Structure 1
């Protein structure tokens, strides 16, 4: 069960991801990422869109949907600054919920606010790791954060939800740390080396 406590993970997830985008350079934008078929520029565009959608849901209580506009500026500075700004906007919105903070209307359904925040935590932290990998930086998800995400991940990442976003769970040593255990559950290898060309 996902509860209000999930919001305590968001600041750590955002802090971790902001540390990861620090390593993005113009050269790294063309590199492959752990997300199949995406280079780092495309991944940053995706995460920036996700942060905008999560912020919309947290502030307005609904998500309008529809495709996001392709950014005109694909420079490193723009993509990283957009990520930084939107991550901070989301954190501020969750810290000071406005309106009905208990649910978010999306398409023809209603999503509990806690689920929205949980999705944000997973999205931000795991893509932070993806970004670090693409920059050839080994930066495990902090143990406390990874353990907290591992408690909610099975509720969000079901077999049906894996297609396209997550691979099947990978075998992992029982001695592996929380970051490697979480990444294995989400179908990601624990090494950055394979993504750098």
Structure 2
């Protein structure tokens, strides 16, 4: 079975798996568009998203305050498995029904949050490591919907920075990045 969120994740997950696989060990200390995160930290956050998303789908308690260093062993393969398991968790019947008991938000909103995390952090990782990244057009409208609905809350909680002023030349995805506090022209120093 599939759901709206698992269908969106099917578009968001493969490019991010490819980006994670393309990160070289020598790049782990590099800067990212997320001012407080090096590439290693960003990768660990992506692991956290993939793993916690399964708990959110199952309506279980999630501790977002703890980020474990997952970059040992064959971590690129492990991430791929975790990301595919996240898609599976969000494809279960009834997963979008109701409100999350732990986070107090509609399950669908939380599913969109997971999609947006992958879309935006995919760009972060690609920009930080010099890899190409093309966001599937099907992901732009749900990303815009989530940012329209939850952007102010995200900024007030520190998940997003202040909106970055940009021109039309950055395109639709660039404008969405700007809503999260990212400069679409960012590049490593």
Report if TM-score (shorter chain) is over 0.5.
yes
Name the CA distance, whole Å, in 1 between partners of 2:95 and 2:135. 32
Q: Structure 1, unaligned stretches of length 5 or more?
A: none
TM-score with structure 1 setting the length:
0.81
Q: Report the Cα offset of residue 66 of structure 1.
A: 6.7
Partner of 1:184: 178
Q: Report the Cα offset of residue 122 of structure 1.
A: 0.8
Name the CA distance, whole Å, in 2 between partners of 1:176 and 1:135. 20
The answer to whether the 8 Å contact 1:58/1:97 transfers is no
Alignment pair present for 1:102 and 2:98: yes
User: SS where residue 110 of structure 1 aligns?
Assistant: coil
1:121-132 alignment runs, 5 A limit: 121-132=115-126
Give the RMSD, CA atoms, in angstroms.
Answer: 2.5
Q: How many residues align?
A: 186
Alignment pair present for 1:93 and 2:92: no
Q: Report the Cα offset of residue 31 of structure 1.
A: 0.5
The answer to whether the 8 Å contact 2:12/2:115 transfers is yes
Change beyond 3 A, Cα 1:191–1:57:
same
Q: Report the Cα offset of residue 155 of structure 1.
A: 0.7
Q: Structure 2, unaligned stretches of length 5 or more?
A: none
Partner of 2:148: 154
User: SS where residue 33 of structure 2 aligns?
Assistant: coil
Partner of 2:71: 74
Change beyond 3 A, Cα 1:50–1:17:
same
Partner of 1:62: 60
